[in-house]
Each structure stands twice: as C-alpha cells, then as structure tokens.
Amino acid sequence: MVSKKCPSFLFLCLTLNWVTSGDAFLRELNDDFGHLSNVTHRRLVFQMLLHQFYLRIHNSGLLDEIGRRVPSVQSRDAAFLESIMAIGDIDEECRAEVIRIRNQYAMFQNLDIRNCAYFSWESLNGLANYRFWPYFEPFTRDATRAASQVLRTLEGRTDLLDAAGLRNELLEELELYQTLSVEQLTVLEDEVRVLLDALGPIRNDLRQCFDLVERTQTTDHERIMDFLRANCYDNK
C-alpha cells in the first residue's frame, strides 16, 4: 500500500514502496540496465581507442614516407643545380635563363609534393572524421541513457499501479538495448575494419605520387639540361 505521505510525490513514492515492500524487480532491472550501459560503454571506448591507435600508426607512417622522399627530391634538385653551374662553354646569359627555368620547375615540384601530402591527409581525414565518429558519439549517448532507463520509463508511464505491465515494458526495453548494443558494436568494428583496409592503399597512393614527382623531375632536368648543352639553342 502507498503511504499517505505520497500524494505530492506519487512517482517517487511508488518506486520506493515497490522496492521496500519486497518486490525488488525495479532494483534488479535497474542493475541490469546499469551493467549493460557500463559494458557497452567500455566496448565502445575500446573500439574508439583502437581506431585512434591505427590512425596514429598510419599517420606516423605517412610522415615517415614524406620525410624520406622530400629530402630525396631536394638532393636531386641540388645536384642538378650544381650541374648547371659546372657546365662550361656556355653563355652566361643562357646559364641565367636556364637557372630561371629551373627555379620555375622547382616551384612546380614543390606544388606536386604539397599535393601528395594533401591527398594523403584528405583520405585519412575522411576516414578519421566522417565515418567512425558520426556513429560513435550517438552510440555512447544511447549507452549512457540506458543507465537511467528505469526512471525514464517510470516517469513516462500513466499507469504506475500496473506492476506487471511495468515489468514487461522494462524487459522489452532491456532487450531492445541489448540488441542495439550488439548492432552498434558491430557497426564500429566494421568501421575499424574499413580503416585498416584503407591504410595500405592510402600509403601506396602516397608512394606512387612521389614516384611520379621524381619521374617528372628527372624528365624536367633532362629537358633543361639538353637546352643548356645546346647553349639555349644558341640563344635562339
């Protein structure tokens, strides 16, 4: 029976009377929801940490690749400039023109290098921010909300005296959260797998981009050097 002191706080009093009168199903279900919330949240956070770990490892790998290839392009350009200065029997006016052309091509090479780095960053950024996180944040909100679902259900019911109906409703909600938890974790696991599958191609694309930069640089150097050896086509 509900205490006579309860009229102003019917919702809270009914809850207290049910629990203290020996019917502990609310407490048990509240514990079940709390346990599910904690377990789900830990698993979601684990997937997030795994996702972040792979991103850090891959980002480090991309930086290593860039750090290795950029000095190679720079050293080739420096050697080419030395070759320009070392060739004799060339009009200085022609040499100055070749250096001007070399500077222009070096600017294009810098743009190509920046594009290589940008395209890698853009690919990684898309995986980092536009796939995993839009799922993770609402999933964690769902897991947090599960912890207070018993109170939320009690607050939303119009018939608080129907204990059997309340129990059934809470059991259905618990089952729904359990199903939701499994589905959400599967989604995040799939997103981590998508990230892993993409890491190799992204790094391979970066290598190919730098390969193209170096091939283009070689072709440019050969063309410029031919122009220089011909004394700028005898100043045209």
DSSP string, 67-86: HHHHHHHHHHHHHHHHHHHH
Q: What is the mean pLDDT of residues 2-11?
A: 45
Range of the domain at 66: 27-233
Using CB atoms within 10 A of its CB, is residue 60 exposed (0-12), middle (13-18) or buried (19+)? Answer: exposed
Does the pLDDT value for residue 145 go beyond 70?
yes
Q: Does 159 or 47 have the greater pLDDT score?
A: 47
**Quick one: pLDDT at residue 10?**
47
Whether 15 maps to a domain, the answer reads no
**Quick one: pLDDT at residue 222?**
96
DSSP 171-190: HHHHHHHHHHHHHHHHHHHH
Whether 2 maps to a domain, the answer reads no
Angle at 33 between CA 27 and CA 36, to 5 degrees: 140
Whether 18 maps to a domain, the answer reads no
Closest by CA to 40, choosing from 121, 110, 143, is: 143
Q: How far is Cα 84 from Cα 123, in angstroms, rounded to an integer?
A: 39
Q: What is the mean pLDDT of residues 136-159?
A: 73
Q: How far is Cα 25 from Cα 162, in angstroms, rounded to an integer?
A: 13
Does the pLDDT value for residue 3 go beyond 70?
no
Whether 216 maps to a domain, the answer reads yes
Question: What percent of the chain clears pLDDT 90, i.e. is strictly above it?
Answer: 50
**Quick one: pLDDT at residue 103?**
96
Q: Give the best-scoring range by mean pLDDT among 12-21, 117-126, 226-235.
A: 117-126
Closest by CA to 209, choosing from 69, 59, 68, is: 69
Whether 119 maps to a domain, the answer reads yes
Whether 203 maps to a domain, the answer reads yes
Computed on alpha carbons and rounded to an integer, the radius of gyration of the chain in Å comes to 34
Q: What is the mean pLDDT of residues 203-214?
A: 96
pLDDT digits (tens, 9 = 90+) for 160-203: 556 677 777 778 888 888 888 899 999 999 999 999 999 899 99
Whether 21 maps to a domain, the answer reads no
Does the pLDDT value for residue 5 go beyond 60?
no
Closest by CA to 80, choosing from 219, 234, 232, is: 219
**Quick one: pLDDT at residue 50?**
94
pLDDT class for 2, splitting at 50, 70, 90? Answer: very low
Q: How far is Cα 66 from Cα 28, in angstroms, rounded to an integer?
A: 57
The overall average pLDDT reported for the chain is 84
Closest by CA to 197, choosing from 125, 127, 116, 118, is: 127
Whether 214 maps to a domain, the answer reads yes
Does the pLDDT value for residue 1 go beyond 60?
no
Q: How many domains in the chain?
A: 1
Q: What is the mean pLDDT of residues 16-34?
A: 67
Q: How far is Cα 118 from Cα 205, in angstroms, rounded to an integer?
A: 12
For residue 193, the SS3 value is: helix
